[in-house]
Structure 1
Amino acid sequence: MPAFEEIVQRESGLKQQLSAGQMTMIAIGGAVGTGLFLGSGFAIGFAGPSVLISYAVGALISLLLMGCLAEMTVAHPTSGSFGAYAEHYIAPVAGFLVRYAYWAAVVLAVGTEVTAIGLYMGYWFPEVPRWTWVVLFSALLIGVNMMSVKAFGAVEYSFSLVKIIAIVAFILIGAWVVFGTRPAGVGFANYVNNGGFFPNGPWGTWVGVIIAIFSYLSIEMIAVAAGEARDPQRAITSAFRSTMVRLVVFYLATIALMLAIVPWATAGKQGSPFVKVMEIIGIPGAASVINFVVLVAALSAMNSQLYITTRMMFSLSRAGHAPAVLGRVNARGVPLPALLLSCLGIAVATLFNIVNPEQSFMLMMAVSMFGAMFTWFMIFVTHLFFRTRRARQGAAPLTFRMWGFPWLTLLGAGLMLAALVSTLFTDVFRLTLLTGVPFLLLLAAAYALWYRKPAATAPAAASAKA
């Protein structure tokens, strides 16, 4: 049996119940969340109007990443995804590092979403402590993920549908205001007011790229969900293409209109800039409606991230790199122990919201970004190894192929490495490397001491059910 088929076999036991439509919504649900509705405000604060370039560069990196990932996922649809690919095509230690770094990153990203939920609820209930909402909504989404992958897919589809409708409505209303009614203070002149298009220079624009990458984080979860898709190859190809088109349009169109309506200097101050747009437009009740939408967006992203961290820890366990109990699935095909462990980010977010609620979101974002950026960089590197080995073995071309190989794969890897190194030279994101590099070294030491043994020693799928 070829080595990768052994990986697929050991990760069996999950239910293949996700449709192509649900797969697309899962990817959108992860990527169109706090990164767009709240993170865009922080990005605007750094880059000013040139944040449009920041998000365009982020979109380019995401497009290249999805091309590489789609090709590998069509060849090998499994829940271990890019962690399994790194293990097979580079080395077992690479798969170990990618899985754990990514798991830790998304666990903390769950914390950023639940922190944002506290901010949004504060719009209506400013007197209620934020940690109350963190606990309440966390319990709700943990319950959804405990039910089944089918229930998760249905809930995520509904959440994402609300977001898509709201974003389309926002684009239409924003266009009507900017090109139609044109009230005082609204227009593209806001792009050059208050310091010009590059008020903080090229460096501010580049820092905006770092936040844009965080915003697009979770589009890769569609590759993880492939292991539970009904028709993986068709679902993956369709979902990858439609997801990228929608994300680019949603992000760039909404931010372009937002900057024309809200002066950039105030867009990132307290809360979502989307709510500020509706307050400026003055549609009765619209600000509350948008606040509800951004709340749903955060819930959706958190729901998706709980799902993906659970599957990544499940994959680690089945590879023999985590306790065997974390690889067990219940009768509904849910890795329940892995889900419960993956709730650590919620606990950290609750603590941060109690101790320092005003800085909790940016702190959680800075710490969580290392694992995500490292994983994206490693996806590009893995694709280089993947394509090189297939060419050496004379493998037949796949139905989906990354274009411009190897130059575009190298471009993506170079941009990701540059963004990761750049975090060290920013005040806000300095913790990204200062915490991430020691964590990676700790993981490498743990692997060398305890896990330098074949993955075949992992518990068999047949004996891993609860």
Structure 2
Amino acid sequence: MTTKFQEISNREQGLQKELSGGQMAMIAIGGAIGTGLFLGSGFAIGLAGPSVLVSYAVGGIIALLLMGCLAEMTVAHPTSGSFGAYAEHYIGPWAGFLVRYAYWACVVLAVGTEVTAVGVYMAYWFPGSPQWLWVVLFSAALILVNAMSVKAFGFVEYWFSMVKIVAIVVFILIGAYVVFGSRPAGVGLDNYNVQGGFFPKGLWGTWVAVVVAIFSYMSIETIAVAAGEAKDPERAVTGAFRATMLRLVIFYLASIALMLAIVPWNATNADKSPFVKVMEIIGIPGAAAVINFVVLIAALSAMNSLLYIATRMMFSLSRAGHAPQRFGRIRANGVPLDALAISCVGIAIATTLSVVAPEQSFAMMMAISMFGGMFTWFMIFVTHWFFRRTWVRERQPRLSFRMWGFPWLTLLGATLMLAALVTTYFTPMFKMTLVVGIPFLIALLAVYLVWYRPLPASASLHARPR
């Protein structure tokens, strides 16, 4: 570890290393299996038709490349600041500032979208009940879990993820039996060619659906942040990386492939989970209730992880001197409670919007959150390029885990992410992503330049208060 990065690592000390390798693997898998698969897949199918399989495969390749880059840097520098700390060290303090705050804002608002979704799911069993009531109740429960200890967080997230994985495995087994075993009328691979063939919306529709796929895979980067509190970071990260990506691709592609074989793509719709549609066609009693329970767990799991990662990112910002010192304080249980408190702002926004504008709240927060997440993924690729060049130039020891195909695959990942970001502007449903995101990024840069930019030594006597 380079001496300068050791300084960054030292200032982020104090968190308890309680997460096991098994919990780390489940955190990574669970983070990427959420409402993006259970609900977002129907939206993606509507954009691309059967070629959505290509969309999710491309999204999976981008996620695989990202995890390779991130795993290499995390094994070298396991710290809770993660990709924000790497950007600060290998690109510059301004990059660390932008990445941390853009990602923190993304995650905080994503918490809001998930908790808003929880209110919608609970309305299935309790129609007519106020949405804000469920937002408050479930938020309080998960805030308590995160406030207890990182061990409590890991335990709850492990079992949330287990429920999601079991649900997908059962769905794949049932779907495979229906498609290749019982084969009722109207079910089969011929459904891939109805209503316009495999590419009914053309290559553009397939590419636009890649944006949805990327958003579905987001949160796999949680493992890099959690590495700062893992018992054995190197083994946990490399093991989770190798297991996670294979399982993710199988879960996503297998479930969607079976879905398309059972339900013609034009019979799915974005307002109902395609999983529900499939189980209704198969004739499983209580299908909608079962899937509603699973997507509720998926939303709670995502919210749990997002609260955790937002707290650690704010903690890292504070220790870097880019946020008030109180957010860097650690309580006796090893939790930065003040950072957790400020990271709950997304819940407050969601609660307010669920009362004031319940119909528009989800879409508004989703657009802003998408930009922060996609920008962070792009910057992870850029940071890895600087990281490897610096590592070689300084003749550091050979890394125990290395991203393959450097620099070409790193540059490919960065190019694909940049292209996906630009694509959002030319797609009406995603246009707000850049319309809101770019001014937000400019505002962050202005704040850094005016308030946090390091001053020359000659001006240190007149330094701005921070």
TM-score over 0.5 (shorter chain): yes
What's 1:161 paired with? 162
What's 1:3 paired with? 4
Give deviations 1:173-210, integer Å, cap 9, x for gaps.
Answer: 01111111222322222222123222221111111000
Indicate if the aligned counterparts of 2:80 and 2:227 stay in contact, CA closer than 8 A: yes
Give deviations 1:231-274, integer Å, cap 9, x for gaps.
Answer: 11111110111111111111111111111122322323323221
Distance across 1 between alignment mates of 2:385 and 2:123: 46
* Structure 2 residues not aligned, in runs of 5+: 456-466
What's 2:176 paired with? 175
- Aligned AA (2:99): V
Distance across 2 between alignment mates of 1:348 and 1:28: 28
Superposition TM-score, scaled by structure 2 size:
0.95
Greater mean alpha carbon deviation, residues 281-290 or residues 214-223: 281-290
Distance across 2 between alignment mates of 1:453 and 1:331: 32
What's 2:292 paired with? 291
Q: 1:358 to 1:265 in 2, by over 3 A?
A: farther
Indicate if the aligned counterparts of 2:23 and 2:155 stay in contact, CA closer than 8 A: yes
> What pairs up with 1:254-333 in 2 under 5 angstroms?
254-333=255-334
Indicate if the aligned counterparts of 1:328 and 1:337 stay in contact, CA closer than 8 A: yes
> What pairs up with 1:177-196 in 2 under 5 angstroms?
177-196=178-197
Indicate if the aligned counterparts of 1:13 and 1:333 stay in contact, CA closer than 8 A: yes
Identity of aligned residues (%): 74
What's 1:457 paired with? none
What's 1:463 paired with? none
Q: 1:86 to 1:332 in 2, by over 3 A?
A: same
Distance across 2 between alignment mates of 1:366 and 1:156: 26
Distance across 2 between alignment mates of 1:86 and 1:141: 30
Distance across 2 between alignment mates of 1:268 and 1:322: 43
C-alpha RMSD of matched pairs (Å): 1.4
Indicate if the aligned counterparts of 1:362 and 1:428 stay in contact, CA closer than 8 A: no
Q: 1:307 to 1:280 in 2, by over 3 A?
A: same
Indicate if the aligned counterparts of 2:310 and 2:340 stay in contact, CA closer than 8 A: yes
Distance across 1 between alignment mates of 2:359 and 2:196: 27
Greater mean alpha carbon deviation, residues 416-425 or residues 284-293: 284-293
Distance across 1 between alignment mates of 2:61 and 2:43: 20
Helix, strand or coil at the partner of 1:397: coil
Give deviations 1:383-405, integer Å, cap 9, x for gaps.
Answer: 11001011111112111000000
Whether 1:69 and 2:47 are equivalent positions in the alignment is no
Whether 1:343 and 2:337 are equivalent positions in the alignment is no
Q: 1:265 to 1:360 in 2, by over 3 A?
A: farther
Whether 1:22 and 2:20 are equivalent positions in the alignment is no
Q: 1:47 to 1:356 in 2, by over 3 A?
A: farther
Q: 1:204 to 1:256 in 2, by over 3 A?
A: same
Helix, strand or coil at the partner of 1:46: helix
Deviation at 1:359, TM superposition (A): 4.1
Distance across 2 between alignment mates of 1:281 and 1:319: 55
Indicate if the aligned counterparts of 1:149 and 1:333 stay in contact, CA closer than 8 A: yes
* Structure 1 residues not aligned, in runs of 5+: 455-466
Indicate if the aligned counterparts of 1:119 and 1:271 stay in contact, CA closer than 8 A: no
- Aligned AA (1:242): A
Distance across 2 between alignment mates of 1:271 and 1:141: 26
What's 1:116 paired with? 117
Deviation at 1:285, TM superposition (A): 2.2
What's 2:235 paired with? 234
Indicate if the aligned counterparts of 1:41 and 1:272 stay in contact, CA closer than 8 A: yes
What's 2:32 paired with? 31
Give deviations 1:293-323, integer Å, cap 9, x for gaps.
Answer: 1111111111001100000000000000001
What's 1:57 paired with? 58
How many residues matched? 454
Indicate if the aligned counterparts of 2:56 and 2:252 stay in contact, CA closer than 8 A: yes
Distance across 1 between alignment mates of 2:337 and 2:56: 36
Distance across 2 between alignment mates of 1:207 and 1:124: 34
Deviation at 1:48, TM superposition (A): 1.4
Indicate if the aligned counterparts of 1:118 and 1:133 stay in contact, CA closer than 8 A: yes
Indicate if the aligned counterparts of 1:423 and 1:429 stay in contact, CA closer than 8 A: yes
What's 2:198 paired with? 197
Greater mean alpha carbon deviation, residues 366-375 or residues 90-99: 366-375
Indicate if the aligned counterparts of 1:17 and 1:228 stay in contact, CA closer than 8 A: yes
Give deviations 1:138-159, integer Å, cap 9, x for gaps.
Answer: 1111111111000000000011
Indicate if the aligned counterparts of 2:39 and 2:270 stay in contact, CA closer than 8 A: no
